[in-house]
């Protein structure tokens, strides 16, 4: 079979996380989503959205996709769209990392940076991207789509049919718990629905970064943030998106940036893992889940992307000091 880059999305390895397993007496595994061809778990969401739009004949060669994104989804779309002959227009808030901007520009995406504003403001990047897609679609007479990763359920459905099934196969069904953070909710919902269809006794936890509202929502039924805004990227949700709605959640954990960053630096040395910020939240959540469930359990989480896009935060002494975050001793 002739494969192209898009065919490399998914089927990522599941690896054992040595340090987290040792300190809990559980087997904690990470799904190595950073090995997807555009470098993150968002390759799956982007492909799910494109396949659905192609199936519905909403986009064809020469068409354009517009998306509002913190970066990874945009990078995934840029790759798939380049390979498929579609144009990519990305609207990104100005607090996403410079590294992500550079990648998008260098991949030839049309990048629009907007002020970082809350979802309730009409200038929020998600609303700007929707309006832009509608305007362009009207002007062009069709063939322009809005990715709408937060509320387009092709996102979680793709995780249900791929990520969840891969995890079940790779653990031979011997999985007791799964946890990850929420950006759009696609990964957590898709995996929770997919694995519970097979075995409803598998527990699922939401691991939420500080400053987001999902911890309190799943723990206490209240959409209320806890703590100061997080420096982690791509996660931390305020509202029940269409991709959060179907999630089947048993437990909820609040993870501080200090815990997340500290763990990320530890894992560089104990496991040789050089992971991005959201992985710190996911693995800290998996450790809490393991402690709650007791020794001997098999717990899976997601390794969303690697550290290369976050040098200006994770390996910048001044930044870390200003945010009172731990500093790795080797920088
Ligand atoms: N980690 C990173 C680095 C991300 O970019 C994202 C996506 N925004 C997530 C985690 C969250 O994934 P999801 O959108 O499926 O909830």
Does residue 42 carry a catalytic annotation? yes
Q: What is the pLDDT of residue 24?
A: 98
What values do phi and psi take at 65, rounded to 5?
-115, 130
Question: In this structure, are residues 281 and 258 in contact, taking their beta carbons and an 8 Å threshold?
Answer: no
For residue 32 and ligand 1, the question of a CB distance below 6 A is answered with no
Pairwise CA distance, residues 318 & 323, whole Å: 9
Q: Which of 97, 192, 230, 278 is catalytic?
A: 278
Q: What is the pLDDT of residue 316?
A: 97
Q: What is the mean pLDDT of residues 202-217?
A: 98
Ligand 1 centroid to Cα of residue 278, in Å, is 8
Ligand 1 centroid to Cα of residue 1, in Å, is 31
Sign of the Cα torsion 44, 47, 166, 159 reads positive
Q: What is the mean pLDDT of residues 314-323?
A: 98
Largest CA distance in the chain: 60
Q: What is the pLDDT of residue 95?
A: 86
DSSP string spanning 62-125?
A: T-EEEEE-SSHHHHHHHHHHHHHT-EEEEEEETTS-HHHHHHHHHTT-EEEEE----TTSTTSH
Whether the pLDDT of residue 1 is over 80: the answer is: no
Question: In this structure, are residues 200 and 182 in contact, taking their beta carbons and an 8 Å threshold?
Answer: no
Pairwise CA distance, residues 9 & 13, whole Å: 12
Q: Which of 21, 31, 40, 42 is catalytic?
A: 42
Tokens, residue 54: 């192609």
Q: What is the pLDDT of residue 96?
A: 84
Whether the pLDDT of residue 278 is over 90: the answer is: yes
For ligand 1, atom 11: residue with the closest CA: 183
Q: What is the pLDDT of residue 46?
A: 98
Report the atom number in ligand 1 closest to the C-alpha of 190: 15
Kindly report the average pLDDT of the chain as a whole number: 97
Report the atom number in ligand 1 closest to the C-alpha of 45: 15
- Write out pLDDT tens, residues 107-121: 999 999 999 999 999
For residue 186 and ligand 1, the question of a CB distance below 6 A is answered with yes
Above pLDDT 70, what percent of the chain? Answer: 100
Question: In this structure, are residues 86 and 112 in contact, taking their beta carbons and an 8 Å threshold?
Answer: no
Residue of 10, 71, 72, 103 to test ligand 1 pocket, by largest number of atoms within 8 Å of CB: 72
Specify the residue for token string 């200038």: 123
Half-sphere exposure for 149 (CA within 13 Å, toward CB): 33
For residue 185 and ligand 1, the question of a CB distance below 6 A is answered with yes
Q: What pLDDT band is residue 101 in, cutting at 50, 70 and 90?
A: very high
Specify the residue for token string 């519905």: 56
What is the reported pTM? Answer: 0.97
Q: What is the pLDDT of residue 250?
A: 98
Whether the pLDDT of residue 56 is over 70: the answer is: yes
Q: What pLDDT band is residue 70 in, cutting at 50, 70 and 90?
A: confident
Does residue 278 carry a catalytic annotation? yes
Q: What pLDDT band is residue 12 in, cutting at 50, 70 and 90?
A: very high
Q: What is the pLDDT of residue 190?
A: 99
CA distances 26 to 20, 84, 214, Å, are: 8, 43, 26
Question: In this structure, are residues 102 and 159 in contact, taking their beta carbons and an 8 Å threshold?
Answer: no
Whether the pLDDT of residue 218 is over 70: the answer is: yes
Q: What is the mean pLDDT of residues 305-323?
A: 97
Q: Give rounded-to-5 percent helix, strand, coil for the chain.
A: 45, 15, 40
Tokens, residue 110: 């049309």
- Write out pLDDT tens, residues 229-272: 999 999 999 999 999 999 999 999 999 999 999 999 999 999 99
Ligand 1 centroid to Cα of residue 183, in Å, is 5
Report the atom number in ligand 1 closest to the C-alpha of 155: 15
160 SS3 class:
helix
For residue 234 and ligand 1, the question of a CB distance below 6 A is answered with yes
Whether the pLDDT of residue 142 is over 80: the answer is: yes
Report the atom number in ligand 1 closest to the C-alpha of 237: 16
């Amino acid at each position: 079979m002739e494969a192209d880059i898009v065919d490399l999305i998914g089927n990522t390895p599941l690896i054992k996380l040595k340090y987290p397993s040792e300190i809990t007496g559980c087997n904690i595994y990470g799904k190595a989503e950073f090995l997807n061809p555009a470098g993150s778990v968002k390759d799956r969401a982007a492909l799910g959205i494109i396949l659905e739009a192609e199936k519905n004949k909403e986009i064809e060669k020469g068409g354009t996709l517009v998306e509002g994104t913190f970066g990874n989804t945009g990078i995934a779309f840029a790759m798939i769209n380049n390979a498929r002959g579609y144009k990519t227009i990305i609207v990104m808030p100005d607090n996403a990392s410079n590294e992500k901007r550079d990648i998008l520009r260098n991949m030839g995406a049309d990048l629009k940076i907007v002020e970082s504003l809350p979802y309730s403001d009409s200038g929020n990047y998600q609303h700007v991207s929707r309006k832009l897609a509608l305007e362009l679609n009207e002007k062009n007479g069709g063939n322009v789509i809005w990715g709408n990763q937060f509320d387009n359920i092709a996102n979680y459905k793709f995780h249900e049919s791929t990520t969840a099934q891969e995890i079940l196969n790779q653990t031979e069904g011997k999985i007791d718990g799964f946890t990850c953070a929420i950006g759009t909710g696609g990964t957590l919902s898709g995996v929770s629905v997919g694995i519970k269809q097979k075995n409803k006794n598998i527990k699922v936890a939401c691991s939420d970064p500080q400053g987001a509202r999902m911890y309190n929502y799943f723990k206490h039924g209240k959409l209320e943030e806890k703590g100061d805004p997080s420096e982690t990227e791509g996660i931390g949700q305020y509202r029940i998106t269409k991709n959060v709605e179907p999630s089947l959640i048993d437990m909820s954990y609040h993870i501080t940036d200090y815990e997340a960053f500290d763990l990320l630096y530890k894992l560089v040395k104990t496991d040789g893992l050089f992971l991005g910020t959201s992985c710190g939240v996911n693995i800290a959540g998996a450790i809490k889940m393991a402690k709650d469930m007791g020794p001997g359990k098999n717990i899976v989480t997601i390794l969303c992307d690697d550290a290369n896009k976050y040098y200006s935060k994770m390996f910048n002494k001044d930044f870390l000091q200003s945010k009172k975050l731990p500093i790795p001793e080797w920088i």
